[in-house]
A = this chain, B = another copy of it.
Amino acid sequence: MSLGKTILGLFGWLLLCFASAAGGAVFMPGEWYASLHKPAWNPPGWIFGPAWTTLYAMMAVAAWLVWQRGGFAAQRRPLGLFLAQLALNALWTPLFFGLRQPGMAFAEILVLWLAIGATLLAFRRVSRAAAWLLVPYLAWVSFAAALNGTIWRLNP
């Protein structure tokens, strides 16, 4: 793979990951979210923006590392899992903030969690660095799932 294509690929993956985040960014957590009962360990709101920006950048780099090993033809399964988890990630915000369905969003985030886990395991067989880049993402989604589940339980 030429250096030009490699660098273009990095921008492609970054663009794809941040585009999938854009669909979520339109729903601002406003009054409704503020009015929900939350657990004591709920983090301050300002953390989510920088956290997700970092995690999207890390996951784009991870996919880019795997993609470099022969492109989609050679890495069909790991990159298929990655794109599936990216779509599931994009699905969560419309369910939680768009439809205001914390229960549905909780069920969905559990599927997302499994998809990220499967992606991480598939990436590990191709690049250990790519797998490590997904560890903070999996940890954050574990935390987000616990928060989502608790908010659902606290606001019947």
Q: Which residue numbers of A lie inside 8 Å of B, CB to CB? A: 15-16, 19-20, 22-24, 26-28, 72, 76-77, 79-84, 86-88, 90-91, 93-95, 97-100
Cβ B76 vs Cβ A84 within 8 A: no
Q: From A84, which residue of chain B is reached at the shortest CB distance?
A: B94
Q: Given A19-B19, A23-B86, are A76 and B98 also a contact pair (CB < 8 Å)?
A: yes
Bound: A79/B95 CA distance, A: 11
| Chain B residues in 8 Å Cβ range of A97 | 80
| Chain B residues in 8 Å Cβ range of A79 | 26, 98
Bound: A94/B78 CA distance, A: 10
| Subset of 22 A-B contacts with CB under 8 Å | A16-B19, A16-B23, A19-B22, A23-B86, A23-B87, A26-B72, A27-B72, A27-B76, A28-B72, A76-B98, A77-B99, A79-B98, A80-B94, A80-B98, A81-B98, A83-B94, A83-B98, A84-B91, A84-B99, A86-B90, A87-B88, A87-B91
Copies in the complex: 2
Q: From A75, which residue of chain B is reached at the shortest CB distance?
A: B98
Bound: A129/B88 CA distance, A: 29
Contacting residue for A81 out of B26, B82, B90, B99, CB 8 A? B99
Q: Given A16-B19, A19-B19, A26-B72, are A99 and B87 also a contact pair (CB < 8 Å)?
A: no
Bound: A91/B90 CA distance, A: 10
Contacting residue for A83 out of B23, B80, B83, B84, CB 8 A? B23
